Amino acid sequence: MRIPCPLCGPRDRREFYYYGSDDYLNRPASDAPIEAWDDHLHLRDNPAGKTHDLWYHETGCAQWLRVHRNTVTHEIYSAELVADLKGGAK
């Protein structure tokens, strides 16, 4: 699988560290109830199909990417820098 890094161009997935769903970009407020934090940290979906995931370009530009991909076909639709996102995950 090749990930299109916005800064480095298409790169092999072995250059990246997979972190998980982009849900991590939408943290509960610091004063949110403990249940909200528990859900945020421990309850994850495992969808088959289109997802938005976080990948860290460990051996490249050292940037976090939000990758839109299909977990069934491994097709990559797009990748964008997390630093460029406005207001968290879209």
pLDDT digits (tens, 9 = 90+) for 38-81: 999 888 888 899 999 999 999 999 999 999 999 999 999 999 99
Distance CA 23, CA 89 (A): 7
Contact criterion met (CB below 8 Å) for 10 and 2 = yes
Judge whether residue 82 has pLDDT over 90: yes
pLDDT band at 83 (very low <50, low <70, confident <90, very high): very high
The predicted model scores a pTM of 0.84
Contact criterion met (CB below 8 Å) for 89 and 66 = yes
* C-beta atoms surrounding 54 within 10 Å: 20
Contact criterion met (CB below 8 Å) for 48 and 72 = yes
